[in-house]
A and B are shown apart, each in its own frame.
Chain A
Amino acid sequence: MTDEHFLDVKDLRIHFPTDDGLVKSVDGLSFHLERGKTLGIVGESGSGKSVTSLGILGLHKGGHAKISGEIWLDGEELVSASLDHVRSLRGKKMAMIFQDPLSSMHPYYSVGDQIVEAYRVHNKVTKQVARKHAIDMLDRVGIPQPERRFDSYPHEFSGGMRQRAMIAMALVNNPDLLIADEPTTALDVTVQAQILDLMRDLQRDFNAALIIITHDLGVVAELSDDILVMYGGKAIEYGTGADIFERPEHPYTWGLLGSMPRLDREPTERLLPIKGSPPSLINVPSGCAFHPRCAFEPRTHGKGKSEVPELIESEGGHLVRCHLTRDERRAIWETEIKPNLEATL
């Protein structure tokens, strides 16, 4: 089949029953990704982006979560697959880099041992072989004196080194799909750039599909082929990097662009923040989930409060979930948002 994607997520829903009600963390999410390509998933905390990544890895399976929809990875459907089968793919076919490498690595085992463990889960090799492989990986991710650092513990590494080690651990089995959850959030600005460069290089070398999950559009600006903007468990805008950065159509995306930190800007400067706070996932606002925070809601003639907008193709695969018409959105971007953004630069 020609339209078969390497990763194809269709109408994914991940709901958590709680004492207070059903939490719809991910609610009807669809996207796809090819080998060698990069998808950036952007949203505030609570938007469902991390739940989505853990969902792909099957880490919600067997728990309390109610999962529906389809996740196709290289021709295999994972939502309906057995727990043990998904587990066997984890770390091998798909791997993950976590946000805080200090808390994400086990404090009682050496960095090298943790990489060796990741390798030996999926490869029946001796410890010596695995060790050598792990040292190669540490070298590959740019850790100096990897032989010596192999036996160091996570707390003995600097933040950047830890993240490099984490990346080495994720890549040790040469995965086809790599998910990086806020890979640079915990790092210094200068280190952030190094890590992003490293990931780009490695992705090219490994020819893996890469999903970068972040609240910061800046992180994905240069890396991503496609960008998915999530809000309240749903995609609200989905398109190529050019779509999102050059002709964004959703008011929320505009807000994200306005609050984007830049390397060339003083970090103390206040950006354009989005007013209000992310929506409750239990008592989701009526109509458009974003409407309480949306400056343009009055222009929807009440639809914003009453109707849930559909994700509609704007142009050439660029999808937007908004009650405003395409022309209204483009007009607002060109006349009201873009000049403002440029003025602050």
Chain B
Amino acid sequence: MVTYIIRRLIAAVLMLVIVSIATFSIFFVIPRAAGVTASDFANRYVGVKGATAETVKATAEKLGFYDPLVVQYGRWVKGIVAGSEFDTGVDVEHCPAPCFGYSFITKQPVWPDLLDRLPVTLSLAVGASVIWLVTGVATGVLSALRRGSIFDRGAMTVALAGVSLPIFFTGIVSLVFFSYKFGITAPGGSYTPITENPAEWAYDLILPWITLAFLLSAAYARLTRAGMLETMSEDYIRTARAKGLREPRVIVKHGLRAALTPIVTIFGLDLGLLLGGAILTETTFSLNGIGKYGVHAIAVGDLPQILGVTTVATFFVVFANLAVDLLYAVVDPRVRLG
């Protein structure tokens, strides 16, 4: 078990390296192949209405664009491991490790930005996941137990809609109605840290939670329904009933317990992806999380920010995979990690 985890952690670090190299390459290599020069790159980070050749050259030098890619990448890695220096014009600032570099545009160090955005994404993902897990699984169980009923058909139709409707549509529409027309939920962009006021935190996020949960709970309802239909016809369910267990206990402890295993797997991966940034939800609700930060970084070509976000996102996905595998062994005693 311990060696398994160590092996997985080493693989995770390798994965982070690969993803960062890939990000680096996509950013530089492809445009360079198309004839984009170092000063062309620098041109993106000077004034909106252009700048003189000297400014462009100085910017390219400052951002290290004239160095070979290997050197540039090495500098980035070194910053994470050992910290780096940043010239503010007036003096030189030290950026302690882990230093993900300074934004090409806002000139802010990336790491504090990520730490600042993370709680928003975390709050969004965790809150939404509780809602979608509870509603999705509950709907799926009820649908399975009343297969073919009006409830089942209605729920599955809504689930289909939930899977198909894009979040920027449901999000904007629900904001217009619930926030601006009826005033019962917070307007877009609202966020209060849970440490400041938990009630405000929940109030501000309830609409993004529900919108995001609607999308995902639909998938979970369908998955749970299929799983329950399968497990409820298993022999051990008959055994449980023959013991004289009451039906709710049979459904939850024996049926759902078995049906949950694949759901736990997918849940872990979904949560990992969301922690790397719920891009659409954060954008639609103007929440300053990792996802929105990343989208903006890509739009303006802010490499240090892009690298920071991909690193964090990769970390969460890899971590979620590991967590799922470990959890799987806990959930299903037949699975042994080796």
Q: Name A's B-contacting residues (CB within 8 A).
A: 54, 57, 59, 87-92, 95-96, 98, 100, 103-108, 110, 117-118, 121-122, 153, 155, 169
Kindly identify which residue among B238, B241, B245, B258 contacts A107, using a CB–CB cutoff of 8 Å: B258
For A152, the closest partner residue in chain B by CB is: B333
With an 8 A cutoff between CB atoms, is B332 at the interface? yes
**Nearest 4 pairs between A and B by C-beta?**
A91-B244, A90-B244, A103-B235, A91-B243
Give Cα distance in the complex from A54 to B241, angstroms.
Answer: 10
Q: Are A107 and B333 in contact (CB under 8 A)?
A: yes
With an 8 A cutoff between CB atoms, is B257 at the interface? yes
Interface residues of B in 238-261 (CB under 8 A from A): 238-246, 254, 257-258
Q: Are A88 and B244 in contact (CB under 8 A)?
A: yes
Smallest distance from the beta carbon of A30 to chain B beta carbons, Å? 23
Q: Are A118 and B333 in contact (CB under 8 A)?
A: no
Kindly identify which residue among A87, A91, A104, A110 contacts B235, using a CB–CB cutoff of 8 Å: A104
Of A104, A153, A169, most buried by chain B (CB within 10 Å of CB) is A104
With an 8 A cutoff between CB atoms, is B234 at the interface? yes
Q: Are A104 and B236 in contact (CB under 8 A)?
A: yes
Which residues of chain B come closer than 8 Å to A108, judged between CB atoms? 257-258, 331-333
Which residues of chain A come closer than 8 Å to B254, judged between CB atoms? 106
Smallest distance from the beta carbon of B199 to chain A beta carbons, Å? 38
Give Cα distance in the complex from A122 to B331, angstroms.
Answer: 27
Smallest distance from the beta carbon of B308 to chain A beta carbons, Å? 41
Q: Are B246 and A107 in contact (CB under 8 A)?
A: no
Give Cα distance in the complex from A91 to B333, angstroms.
Answer: 26
Which residues of chain B come closer than 8 Å to A103, judged between CB atoms? 234-236
Kindly identify which residue among B238, B258, B334 contacts A98, using a CB–CB cutoff of 8 Å: B238
Pair count A-B, CB < 8 A = 64
Which residues of chain A come closer than 8 Å to B240, judged between CB atoms? 106
Smallest distance from the beta carbon of A101 to chain B beta carbons, Å? 9
Which residues of chain A come closer than 8 Å to B235, judged between CB atoms? 98, 100, 103-104
Of A100, A121, A155, most buried by chain B (CB within 10 Å of CB) is A121
For A115, the closest partner residue in chain B by CB is: B243
Q: Are A106 and B236 in contact (CB under 8 A)?
A: yes
Smallest distance from the beta carbon of B112 to chain A beta carbons, Å? 44
Q: Are B332 and A89 in contact (CB under 8 A)?
A: no
Which residues of chain B come closer than 8 Å to A57, judged between CB atoms? 242
Give Cα distance in the complex from A59 to B240, angstroms.
Answer: 11
Q: Are B243 and A118 in contact (CB under 8 A)?
A: yes
Give Cα distance in the complex from A59 to B242, angstroms.
Answer: 7
Q: Mark B218-245, 1 if CB is under 8 A from A, else 0.
A: 0000000000000000111011111111
- Could you write out 21 A-B pairs with CB less than 8 Å apart? A54-B238, A59-B242, A87-B246, A90-B241, A90-B242, A90-B244, A91-B242, A91-B243, A96-B242, A98-B235, A98-B239, A103-B235, A104-B235, A106-B236, A106-B254, A106-B257, A106-B258, A108-B258, A118-B244, A121-B245, A155-B333
Give Cα distance in the complex from A87 to B247, angstroms.
Answer: 9
Which residues of chain A come closer than 8 Å to B236, judged between CB atoms? 103-107
Give Cα distance in the complex from A87 to B246, angstroms.
Answer: 7
Give Cα distance in the complex from A204 to B239, angstroms.
Answer: 24
Which residues of chain B come closer than 8 Å to A155, judged between CB atoms? 333-334
Q: Are A107 and B334 in contact (CB under 8 A)?
A: yes
For B257, the closest partner residue in chain A by CB is: A108
For B255, the closest partner residue in chain A by CB is: A106
Of B243, B257, B334, most buried by chain A (CB within 10 Å of CB) is B243
Give Cα distance in the complex from A244 to B257, angstroms.
Answer: 46
Q: Are B333 and A117 in contact (CB under 8 A)?
A: no
Which residues of chain A come closer than 8 Å to B332, judged between CB atoms? 107-108
For A92, the closest partner residue in chain B by CB is: B244
Which residues of chain A come closer than 8 Å to B246, judged between CB atoms? 87
For B234, the closest partner residue in chain A by CB is: A103
Kindly identify which residue among B238, B244, B334 contacts A87, using a CB–CB cutoff of 8 Å: B244
Kindly identify which residue among A92, A104, A153 contacts B238, using a CB–CB cutoff of 8 Å: A104
Which residues of chain B come closer than 8 Å to A121, judged between CB atoms? 243-245
